[in-house]
Structure 1
């Protein structure tokens, strides 16, 4: 509790007490006569000293800068940059000038409604809502405000942004054409195995870049690192990104082809950075008449092909579990479930590629 060394005094009309905290001076009053009024004024002062709630506190923009700094220091640059962008573009213009202690659910809802009206996807709106909740939590932990959002809702009309995936005829091209265009000449694509492996496993682009030969053991791949767009090595997008799975026969064949090129040490696919990988993939698409999709959408292609598998199995393969299932991971290795899943994935691709 805050330390108060004085007490309210009667000025002929009301009880009045002045207290100071962190360089800020506040006055509290009570018009109730008698000692009850004195206790009431003192209680108001004590509550302010104890809670730290800043009734005349800084504005959202000021405290937001402090919060962003704490986030920057505690997370990867890959996670921080999109958060900072959402805050700067969507939150600050709407509530940046408001005092933190005056925020209401409607203020935050206005941010979401305006972003929705601007055409942002449901996923983006959920991220903005999570950002604002995290900011309010920071304010509570810092005793700047006691406010906790309760009634934020994503507008009913918001939809997830559609993803493009390779269609069966385009998958057939991917697994039959090894060439691309470089310097206006048709040449073998050095990353053809990377494209194919990503489609066959559902790896994120950063996980593909981070894959090393020592991560492959006896037909099982262990995903334990990722290389973000800034070239930084991280442990992945979240705790579920650290996982292992058995390779399908097709995926194993792709690795064997890659082994002939790079040997069995160091990086598997020897890709410089994510931007370079994206650029070469798009060149491959243009050369071979494939719809130009992002390398991340190669991951969505895998999920689309594997959609006939049980949802729980697919989530485990791509690192989408709600919680890390340690027994599930090791249980697969012991009971043979991982091998069965790998065979099912292989059968799905065989069927699409006309080899089933």
Structure 2
């Protein structure tokens, strides 16, 4: 960015202050008819604003600026946020426009990247994240006075679809709540994570939230969800600001946790599972050993949400730690006495009904 090195001078003939400055080879003059030093300051301020409004790309390429942007994300966000961004950038964005100068980038350049990712089969969710990455990067560039480019019209191809999710069906749930064994080394053995599987499907907890639970988080029938263990073993406060919440346990879920107490009640953690990878591997073995639909641990959460459709949407969002669909809910929505207990009773009835019908 150009810096002013001169100051406005008084033009006696025209009775005004005048200052001339140059930016990127372009010269402009600014004036003020206000007498005295006030007028001089006004003219100088006009020149400064014009100089500051320009860009100073100086031939900078996308690849040369990217390290500054990702470093900022590493400083201000969690690894679970910036690492997927970095992965998408290295695979899709940098090969396409990394060598291009910022002042030569067009919106079509960016749309071509999104379209290519769509053609390769990426999901609508991933394409949406990619568009957010690009907008965020160029917003950083604008704030750094490197460009004025703003890719606001990026679009997701109309044919993009979210990846389909599998859930446990009622027959699978019956097996889950009646079979507490798995296979190891070709033999039938007790499944030590059985209560974790059941609690997750009964509460809709994320896998990391389940692993992060401690006995101190349980107060009566209320479970206070306040930490998560991510796939790298790091303890975090959860995926978003709504992740910290209290969950009123249905009787079925409370019974499973009480059964777990006999196994790990002497430990700090409720389930004592070392990491998400181990949890996912053991769950996959359990599904194969007992003929359950092979779903991921995260899809146990989808199973819960699908069954919980009998509840109002607002209650479901609170239970699973999702954001409100409207700002009004975030500002004016408050917990109503007895509402959580009612939701827990309703969910307990739904699960009990499903299990009894399939028995």
TM-score range, shorter chain: 0.7 to 0.9
Q: How does 1:264-343 map to 2 (within 5 A)?
A: 265-322=267-324, 325=330, 328=333, 331-332=335-336, 335-343=337-345
Moved more, 141-150 or 164-173: 141-150
Deviations 1:284-322 (A, max 9, x none): 011111122111111111111112221111111111123
Counterpart contact for 2:4–2:21, Cα < 8 Å: no
1:137 aligns with one of 126, 139, 144: 139
Counterpart contact for 1:278–1:295, Cα < 8 Å: yes
Partner of 2:3: 3
SS in 1 for 2:25: strand
2:264 aligns with one of 239, 259, 262: 262
- How has the CA–CA distance of structure 1 residues 185 and 328 changed in structure 2, closer, same or farther, with 3 Å as cutoff? farther
SS in 2 for 1:240: coil
Q: CA deviation at 1:97?
A: 1.8
Q: 2 CA distance for matches of 1:326 and 1:250?
A: 33
Partner of 2:67: 65
Partner of 1:179: 181
Deviations 1:212-238 (A, max 9, x none): 111111211111000001110000001
Deviations 1:121-151 (A, max 9, x none): 1100111011111111211222222222221
Deviations 1:313-333 (A, max 9, x none): 11111111236848746x24x
**RMSD of aligned alpha carbons:** 2.7
Is 1:222 paired with 2:219? Answer: no
Counterpart contact for 2:30–2:47, Cα < 8 Å: no
Partner of 1:206: 208
Partner of 1:157: 159
Partner of 2:38: none
> What are structure 2's unaligned runs of at least 5 residues?
8-19, 32-43
Moved more, 104-113 or 199-208: 104-113
Is 1:28 paired with 2:30? Answer: no
SS in 1 for 2:242: helix
> What are structure 1's unaligned runs of at least 5 residues?
8-16, 20-25, 31-36
Partner of 1:23: none
Partner of 2:348: 346
Counterpart contact for 1:18–1:28, Cα < 8 Å: no
1:233 aligns with one of 232, 235, 247: 235
Q: 2 CA distance for matches of 1:231 and 1:240?
A: 21
Counterpart contact for 2:221–2:254, Cα < 8 Å: yes
Q: 1 CA distance for matches of 2:218 and 2:333?
A: 19
Q: 1 CA distance for matches of 2:270 and 2:45?
A: 67
Q: CA deviation at 1:119?
A: 0.9
- How has the CA–CA distance of structure 1 residues 163 and 5 changed in structure 2, closer, same or farther, with 3 Å as cutoff? same
Q: CA deviation at 1:57?
A: 3.2
Q: CA deviation at 1:5?
A: 2.2
SS in 2 for 1:186: strand
Counterpart contact for 1:53–1:101, Cα < 8 Å: no
Q: 1 CA distance for matches of 2:104 and 2:88?
A: 22
